[in-house]
Amino acid sequence: MDKIALAAKSRDVLGRKTNKWRKEGLIPAVVYGKGIEGKNIWVKLLDFKRLIRKSGESTVIDLKIDEKDSRNVLIYDTQKDPVRDTFVHIDFFQVRMDEEIETEVELEYVGEAPAVKELGGVLVKNIDAIEVKCLPADLPSSISVDISSLKTFDDRITLGDLNISKKIELSIDLETVIALVSEPRSDDEMSGLDTKVDADVTKVAGVVKETAPAEGAEKKEDRKK
C-alpha cells in the first residue's frame, strides 16, 4: 500500500496560545504511540483537508516532522469546531510496520441499485464502518460496497460478498448483512402517516388543556410589557 506523506513542524506553543496560529491556517497536533514519548507538532489545515479528501482517515501516513523525522502514523482522533466545522486538533498514533494494528475502516457505497432506480425502493445501509486487524501495510483506506447487485427486495449484500484481502482479519461474522433495499410504502401506509391525531391530551396525567382567553381579555405576556 502506498503511504500518504504529510509535512509537520515541531510545536512548543500550548493551550490557548495555539488559537493565534489556528487563524494562520495551522492545526495543533500530537504524535504518540506504544513506548513512544509524545511530541507536539503543527500541521497545515489545507494539507490535512486534502489528505482526508483523498485517502480518508484510515490510512497509514508518512508524517515528516521538520523535514527529517519520518514516522508512520494513523489518525487516531480529530476534534472539530462545532460552529465552523473545521479541524482544531489532531491525535496521530505512531505504528510499527511489522506489528498488527486494530482500527476501523469506512465502507464506501458505490454504484446504483436497480431495486431503487426501477422499483422505487429505499436503500438501507446497515453498517458504515467495520473493525479490522492487519499489518499497517495491508490496511485499506476504505472498503468498496457495490450496490448494483441489489436488483430485487430479496437481495442482500453481506460482509462475505465484499472483496476484502485475506490478510485482513474482521471482527464481525461474514454473514452480517451490509446493505439491502426495502420496499416503498403503500398508498394506505402513507395515508396513515398523514392522518391527524385528535386524541385529547388532557387525559394524560400532568397535562393542562390551554383555553382561549375571553374576548377582550389580555394575554399574560401583554400585561407584563
Determine contact, residues 121/183, Cβ cutoff 8 Å: yes
Q: Name the residue with cell 484481502.
A: 165
**Residue 3 or residue 155, greater confidence:** 155
Rounded CA-CA distance 51/69 in Å is 19
Whether the pLDDT of residue 209 is over 80: the answer is no
- The three grid cell numbers given for residue 208, joined into one nine-digit string: 393542562
Half-sphere exposure of 16 (CA within 13 A, CB side): 0
Q: Closest by alpha carbon to 176, among 141, 120, 131?
A: 131
Is the whole model's pTM more than 0.85, yes or no? no
Question: Domain limits of the chain?
Answer: 4-95, 103-186
- Rounded alpha-carbon distances, angstroms, from residue 30 to 16, 33, 94, 186: 15, 10, 10, 54
**Residue 136 or residue 217, greater confidence:** 136
pLDDT (tens digit per residue) in 6-50: 999 999 988 887 888 888 899 999 999 988 889 999 999 999 999
Eight-class DSSP state of 78: E
Cα 14 to the center of its chain, rounded Å: 28
pLDDT (tens digit per residue) in 125-144: 999 999 999 999 999 888 99
pLDDT of the residue at 167? 94
pLDDT-derived band of residue 100, with 50, 70 and 90 as boundaries? very high
pLDDT-derived band of residue 96, with 50, 70 and 90 as boundaries? very high
Determine contact, residues 74/3, Cβ cutoff 8 Å: no
Determine contact, residues 112/77, Cβ cutoff 8 Å: no
- The three grid cell numbers given for residue 37, joined into one nine-digit string: 514519548
pLDDT of the residue at 24? 87
Other Cβ atoms less than 10 A from the Cβ of 51: the count is 18
Burial of 43 (0-12, 13-18, 19+ CB in 10 A): buried
pLDDT (tens digit per residue) in 151-208: 999 999 999 999 999 999 998 999 999 999 999 876 665 565 555 545 454 444 444 4
pLDDT (tens digit per residue) in 102-116: 999 999 999 999 999
Rounded CA-CA distance 125/8 in Å is 37
pLDDT-derived band of residue 59, with 50, 70 and 90 as boundaries? confident
Lowest mean pLDDT among 51-55, 88-92, 181-185, 207-211: 207-211
Rounded CA-CA distance 39/32 in Å is 7
97 backbone dihedrals φ, ψ, rounded to 5°: -70, -15
Is 4-95 assigned to CATH 2.40.240.10? yes
Please tell me if the domain spanning 4-95 has the same topology as the one spanning 103-186: no
pLDDT of the residue at 29? 95
- The three grid cell numbers given for residue 98, joined into one nine-digit string: 511489522
Rounded CA-CA distance 106/125 in Å is 12
Rounded mean pLDDT, 57-84: 91
Tell how strand 101-110 and strand 4-10 pair up.
unpaired
Output the CATH code of domain 103-186.
2.170.120.20
Determine contact, residues 142/132, Cβ cutoff 8 Å: no
* 134 beta partners: 101
Whether the pLDDT of residue 54 is over 80: the answer is yes
